[in-house]
Amino acid sequence: MRADKPEPEQAKSQPAENDAPLGADMEPWWAGLGPVAAVLLIVVGVALLVWLHLTSSDTPGDGAVTGYQISRLVVIGMVVAGGGILARHRARNAKRAAPHGADED
């Protein structure tokens, strides 16, 4: 065999089953938040945005990155709160749609 060609076993090395990319199976930090924490996140984010607006200097790009990051917190809070409200609404509708005799088996 020539030295410059790899053997078929070496060329077809397969990754192990648990060699997933780093962070592939992890949930985002906000995945476990409930509706109360989401509302708290919204309130704190809005308060930080107001504080940033009131304390920023007159230069246009001074707090743009900070404002963007804070606004992302507010949006994450809105999404989590909306998801909690939607889940509660679906559960309520599922109870209404269930026949009354289905509970008494």
Q: Which are the contacts of 82, defined by CB distance < 8 A and separation ≥ 6?
A: none
pLDDT given at position 4:
63
Cα 41 to Cα 23, 46, 48, 66: the distances in Å are: 24, 9, 10, 16
CA distance 105 to 89: 26
pLDDT given at position 105:
47
Q: Which of 91, 82, 86 is nearest to 41 (CA)?
A: 82
Amino acid at 22: L
| pLDDT one digit per residue (tens) for the chain, 105 residues | 555 665 555 545 555 555 556 656 678 777 788 888 889 999 999 999 999 888 877 666 767 888 889 999 999 999 999 998 898 888 888 888 877 655 554
